[in-house]
Amino acid sequence: MNIWEKMLNLDRRWIFLLIGIACVVPFFTPLGLPILPSEEVISIYDYIEELGPDNAIFVGFDFDPGTAAENQPMGIAVLRHAFSRNIPVFITAVTPMGQGLAAMAIDELTDETRADFFSFVSWSEWSAIRDQGITERAEIEEAWIAEGNLLPERSRGFIFEGRDFAHLGYLPVFNLVILGMSTSIVSQYPTDVAGNSVEEMPMYQEHKSLREIDLAVTNAGSAACTWWIIYGREKIGLPVAFGVTAVMATDYYIYIQSGQIIGQMGGLRGAAEYEVLLLDNDYTSEPGKAFIGMDVQNIAHLLIIFLVILGNIAFFAGGFNKKTKLKGRR
């Protein structure tokens, strides 16, 4: 067995160890290299930047925990952007697990121990204000503060359940649900996940069907994201944006070029780009999880490329492409 053969027969657990180290060590020696946002992501950011309290968007947590490392930061980044601009957000999920992940995202954004949190006001807490007939965003906040609720010092603002967001959760056969919501949102979601009546929510009163929605951002780990194009965009002209896993991202450039989606966040890089835009525009004071993760990604990519090249050198130098058959464990 010559050296090349020995090398190619290396126990694969050594390679496992190598990639493990390459993904751990950089956390302690950050490179801090800048990430430049691409047009595909900037276009989503700019679109949301134009919206305000009179508009409304859908954010889909259309993934399972398996791809949450990529999709969750996208969902959180878009929610943060919308909450900061007081854009009402309807949150949905194509899978049951997605419903829980969406709730986790809301919890993370409203966690008072974290930087740049939002102060969460539940549906029942501001019922007295609703009873007075106040439904306008600015007036609700004014009345809430007048009741003696001061905005905590480090908080980025209040978010009122039913005015700023509604967590609608999961429904099966979601393609048909999208179609149903083109007539009426409440026909599909009579209540939110906590059991509150969606019909009574001011944000629903102002946006009763998908036709009155300005954008749907689907953060997806499966081809279910295309349902938003097929059943939303093509049926009623709903603007759609994608946040997809890296594995799927290359397939969906066709929808960007055809104008069927306004933009796409592809994988952790896409999420990191959105986080950079939020950081640069003072929507957060700290880089997000995806941005930090991309720093680690640098070394891992270099290692993989090194392994490909090394494997090929050993393969050709050992002459395995021609005559000698490689023996041993593979």
Partner 1 sequence: MTETIGLWVAALFTIGIYSFLYKENPLYRLAEHLVIGISLGYFIVISYMRVLEPRLIEPISNGEQGAWLLLIPAILGILYITRFFPKVAWLSRYPMAFLMGAGMGVGFPLSMKAQVLRQLEASLIPLYKTGMSWEIVLGNVVMVLGTLAALIYFFFSKPHKGLFFGTGSKIGIWVIMVGFGATFGFTVMGRISLLIGRIQFLLGDWLHIIK
Partner 2 sequence: MKRSIPLAIVMVGGILFIIQYFIPHQHSQTLFDYYTEWAPIVGAFALVLGVGSLSRLHSHKIKRKAKNWQYSYAVLIPLFAVPFFALLMPESLGGGLMESMGGTRTTQGVFDFAYLNVQIPIQSTMFSLLAFYIASAAFRAFRAKSALATVLLLAAIIVMLGQVPIGELIGKWFPKIGLWILRYPNLGAKRAIGLGVGFGILATQLKIIFGVERNWLGGAGE
Residues 13-42 that bind partner 1 (CB under 8 A): 13, 16, 19, 23-24, 27-28
Least separation in angstroms between residue 294's CB and partner 1 is 9
Q: Which partner, partner 1, partner 2, none, binds residue 307 by CB below 5 to 8 Å per kind?
A: partner 2
Task: Output b/e per residue, 98-108; b: 16+ Cβ within 10 A.
Answer: bbbbbbbbbeb
* Rounded CA separation 197/205 (Å): 12
Q: Which partner, partner 2, partner 1, none, binds residue 293 by CB below 5 to 8 Å per kind?
A: partner 1
Of 269, 273, 284, 314, the residue at the interface with partner 1 (CB under 8 A) is: 269
Nearest to 119 by CA among 89, 146, 155, 147: 155
Is 323 among the residues that bind partner 2 (CB under 8 A)? no
Is 226 among the residues that bind partner 1 (CB under 8 A)? yes
Q: Which partner, partner 1, partner 2, none, binds residue 24 by CB below 5 to 8 Å per kind?
A: partner 1
Is 193 among the residues that bind partner 2 (CB under 8 A)? yes
* Rounded CA separation 99/24 (Å): 30
Residues 45-64 that bind partner 1 (CB under 8 A): none
Which span sits near partner 2 by CB under 8 A: 81-89, 132-140, 175-183, 201-209? 175-183
Report yes or no: 283 and 299 within 8 Å, Cβ to Cβ.
Answer: no
Residues near partner 2 (CB under 8 A), total: 75
Q: Which partner, partner 1, partner 2, none, binds residue 298 by CB below 5 to 8 Å per kind?
A: partner 2
Q: Which partner, partner 2, partner 1, none, binds residue 28 by CB below 5 to 8 Å per kind?
A: partner 1
* C-beta neighbour count of 320 within 10 angstroms: 15
Least separation in angstroms between residue 95's CB and partner 2 is 11
Q: Which partner, partner 2, partner 1, none, binds residue 167 by CB below 5 to 8 Å per kind?
A: partner 2
Report yes or no: 214 and 264 within 8 Å, Cβ to Cβ.
Answer: no
Residue 43 CB burial class (10 angstroms; 0-12, 13-18, ≥19): middle
* Rounded CA separation 35/276 (Å): 7
Residues that bind partner 1 (CB under 8 A): 13, 16, 19, 23-24, 27-28, 66-70, 96-97, 99-100, 169-173, 175-176, 179, 190-191, 193, 195, 226, 229-231, 233-235, 245-247, 249-251, 254, 257-260, 266-269, 289, 292-293, 296-297, 300-301, 304
